[in-house]
Amino acid sequence: MRELTERLRAFASPERVLEDEPMSRHTTFRLGGPADVLFLPASAEETARAIQAARALNEPCFVMGNGSNLLVKDGGVRGLVIEIGEPMSGIAVEGTTVRAQAGASLTHLAREAAAASLQGLAFASGIPGSVGGAVAMNAGAYGGEIKDVLTRTLVLEHGTPVWKTAEELHLSYRNSDVLRQGLIVLEAEFGLAPGDREAILAEMSELARRRREKQPLTMPSAGSTFKRPEGHFAGALIEASGLKGFKVGGAQVSELHAGFIVNAGGATARDVLDLIEAVTARVRADSGVTLEPEVRVIGEE
């Protein structure tokens, strides 16, 4: 890894190139083994150069956002992990268009839109993700989805930055061509509508209240663990199977919302994976519905 580190530090400051970096510091689950090398790019150019460096050395490369929908296995991640985060988190408002870099948080994006009296992003104000990850997975909540407001996205395709319209990305439920084709989101533009600032802020406040009441926001998790099965709700199926509070090691089905698996203290990735497997088996046996994990899993045992 030394040669990869040296190549990255040739164009990036040392504090943004980290060796043997614990992924527990970079995921909302607060668990996971170390990345051989973790890099925080400050621009689209640096992102492309880092990928090129890894490929030139035949090292695997994984690009992530803020780690809010990610489970890293206990053995860590080999090769290079690129985290698009705070150094690439700029937001600009021009008329009814909001443009954000991929590392911007959805909460910050929604607040900036509200400050400009623009409506359409209130639903995203409490989603614990970044713009890049939200576009890739077509994040949504409370009846809203990214595809409802996204106009176009700057992606890295075969090493070249390319603007693609929302239609060209074929956003669907928790999926898009970003994931299907291995694209990397660099920036995104959102088309919003003029609105009343106080009304928008009131809506955001109400959604925040509902989240606090129904979701385990004070415990480490990766958000909703399972995708919504057609015609059902994952949390309701899990609760109906009597699994609220069920634990494997330090991983637990939330007692507040059964659709969340939380790190109740000292959980390992293996605990989480075993719990996911146990929940899936029980729900399938009880209801005939097979739950599909929403959280992405990477790394080695």
Catalytic residue among 83, 174, 189, 241: 174
Query: What kind and span of H or E run contains 239?
Result: helix 234-240
Dihedral sign of CA atoms 109, 111, 116, 122 in order = positive
Is 277 assigned a catalytic role?
Answer: no
Owner of token pair 């097979």: 290
Catalytic one among 89, 176, 221, 224? 224
**Whole-number Cα distances in Å, 243 to 25, 224, 237, 256, 278:** 29, 15, 9, 12, 10
Would you state the structure tokens that stand for residue 116, as one six-digit string? 């400009």
Q: E-strand spans in the chain? A: 17-22, 34-39, 61-64, 70-72, 77-83, 91-94, 97-101, 118-119, 140-141, 144-145, 150-157, 160-165, 184-191, 193-194, 221-224, 247-248, 251-253, 260-263, 296-298
Vertex 159: Cα angle to 154 and 161 (nearest 5): 20
Residue with tokens 């990477």: 298
- Specify whether 174 is catalytic: yes
Active site includes 294? Answer: yes
Residues annotated as catalytic are: 174, 224, 294
